[in-house]
Structure 1
């Protein structure tokens, strides 16, 4: 699933091309990807709307439109939003095409059909999409060590699970949770409440470093993720632990181990992460 750095990269690649564009029309090939409203209303409401700006909240992409409307996209496992020429064949797994008055098209492509689109007035659609339940943004300037400490306080769950809980922290997924815990030198099985003040400072610093690196490298591509131009990211070439179980730690040479935490595969160094 695209995580915070991937969705942020998509936002940044799409924004310069979509801001100020008028949606001339919408074609829906698979209505099941539209959560709200129904497909016919979705098409009618979008026609003629101007895209004012794009934003991101956690793993959600938000298109702010004229007349107070907002289009929310959650890519889930395999969703893609790709800018293309206006003409050309509809490729496999293309479920929605947004035609732009200035030329070109934005295509919603999703091989597994898990992604969802939500459209409505801003205050209503953010509730329908679940945005109101998200925790703070880990890259927001207001997210400090004290905020992280409050999130971890009293929680006996493994710190890896706390990092993945979208109600506590928005946008972090399996890849970046593993990476930030390695950078912080913390065992993912440690209860969140057991972290000391110094360890919380390290984790806070590592969270920013891992996420900022992912954005700087245009996201992590293993299978499905591409940016708004259909280009893969480069961050997979810089990962320290994720996907490297059984290989030597790049820091100490110890064999990286894999465990399941909350049903999620987790890779860590038993020597570097305590």
Structure 2
């Protein structure tokens, strides 16, 4: 599943739509199949964790397109008046042809329109976004820390994955953060120094989204297969101590128990 930094970079890429006017829209989802954004001006694209809010002015009416990529959704941007090859267009759930580029949402499981002043109905339950540009970083850290500390008995990785507590972290980040802070994944939150962990998460994610930067990397090594300390490295030696890494699989239908990796020596 794309994590918060992925959506943040996507929103940056889609900024080419801001200021353009929708020439035609094609919603290929039953609920909004008859919806029409033609004539709407694209005002902004705002990432919120793993959600994307695209705001429009449609004849003076403030409208928001809410999308979520979940596991494998994606956006493609092509030139004015163009489409993707036919073999790909079968996956299209939304086509926005504008006076500039055309944006095509593929395999999007969440596509919905709502008044902009009703955005709280789809994101109001979410925690603070670690990449929120509108809030001071100390406030983001304080809110996220307080939310996590409110559930002291919860396993660390489960709490970090809960978007109601802190927004934008996915499985890569929570595994890597647990390693970097030296905590076993199932350590209760109450036994963890939460504020330094959140501060590290903010710093790492903001480094990952720097324009022209290396992207998501925790080891400092951007070579293929070298970016992470533990994530995806089942049975391989720890990059710090050489101990064989441990792995536990996800529990089906339990979003708080995902594939998990750790070093039994470096993490206690």
User: For residue 116 of structure 1, what is the aligned residue in structure 2?
Assistant: 110
CA positional deviation for 1:120: 1.6
Query: Which secondary structure does the structure 2 equivalent of 1:68 belong to?
Result: strand
Q: Relative to 1, partners in 2 of residues 1:108 and 1:273: Cα closer, same or farther, differing over 3 Å?
A: same
* Distance (Å, rounded) in 2 between the aligned partners of 1:83 and 1:132: 29
1:174 aligned onto 2:171: yes
User: For residue 71 of structure 1, what is the aligned residue in structure 2?
Assistant: 65
* Distance (Å, rounded) in 2 between the aligned partners of 1:244 and 1:13: 30
CA positional deviation for 1:249: 1.1
User: For residue 12 of structure 2, what is the aligned residue in structure 1?
Assistant: 12
User: For residue 23 of structure 1, what is the aligned residue in structure 2?
Assistant: 22
Higher helix content, 1 or 2: 1
Query: Which secondary structure does the structure 2 equivalent of 1:263 belong to?
Result: coil
Q: How many residues align?
A: 244
Give 1:1-274 correspondences, 5 Å limit. 1-15=1-15, 17-28=16-27, 30-32=28-30, 37-40=31-34, 42=35, 44=36, 46-66=37-57, 67-85=61-79, 86-88=81-83, 89-92=85-88, 93-102=91-100, 104-110=101-107, 115-127=109-121, 130-140=122-132, 141=137, 142-145=139-142, 147-195=144-192, 199-216=193-210, 217-218=214-215, 237-260=226-249, 262-274=256-268
Q: Relative to 1, partners in 2 of residues 1:51 and 1:91: Cα closer, same or farther, differing over 3 Å?
A: farther
CA positional deviation for 1:191: 0.4
Query: Which secondary structure does the structure 1 equivalent of 2:114 belong to?
Result: strand
Q: Relative to 1, partners in 2 of residues 1:188 and 1:168: Cα closer, same or farther, differing over 3 Å?
A: same
* Distance (Å, rounded) in 1 between the aligned partners of 2:260 and 2:208: 18
> 2:147–2:165: 8 Å Cα contact kept in structure 1?
no
> 2:52–2:67: 8 Å Cα contact kept in structure 1?
yes
CA deviation vs aligned residue, 1:200-228 (integer Å, no higher than 9, x gap): 243123212332343243458xxxxxxxx
Structure 2: segments with no counterpart, 5+ residues = 251-255
Query: Which secondary structure does the structure 2 equivalent of 1:238 belong to?
Result: coil
Runs of 4+ in 1 over 6 A off after TM superposition: 233-236
**RMSD of equivalent CA atoms:** 2.4
* Distance (Å, rounded) in 2 between the aligned partners of 1:61 and 1:158: 28
Which segment is superposed worse, 131-140 or 77-86?
Answer: 131-140
CA positional deviation for 1:237: 4.7
* Distance (Å, rounded) in 2 between the aligned partners of 1:146 and 1:20: 33
CA deviation vs aligned residue, 1:166-205 (integer Å, no higher than 9, x gap): 111111111111111111111111001122xxx3243123
Q: Relative to 1, partners in 2 of residues 1:188 and 1:248: Cα closer, same or farther, differing over 3 Å?
A: same
CA positional deviation for 1:272: 1.2
Structure 1: segments with no counterpart, 5+ residues = 221-232
> 1:259–1:267: 8 Å Cα contact kept in structure 2?
yes
> TM-score, length-normalised on structure 1?
0.81
User: For residue 253 of structure 2, what is the aligned residue in structure 1?
Assistant: none
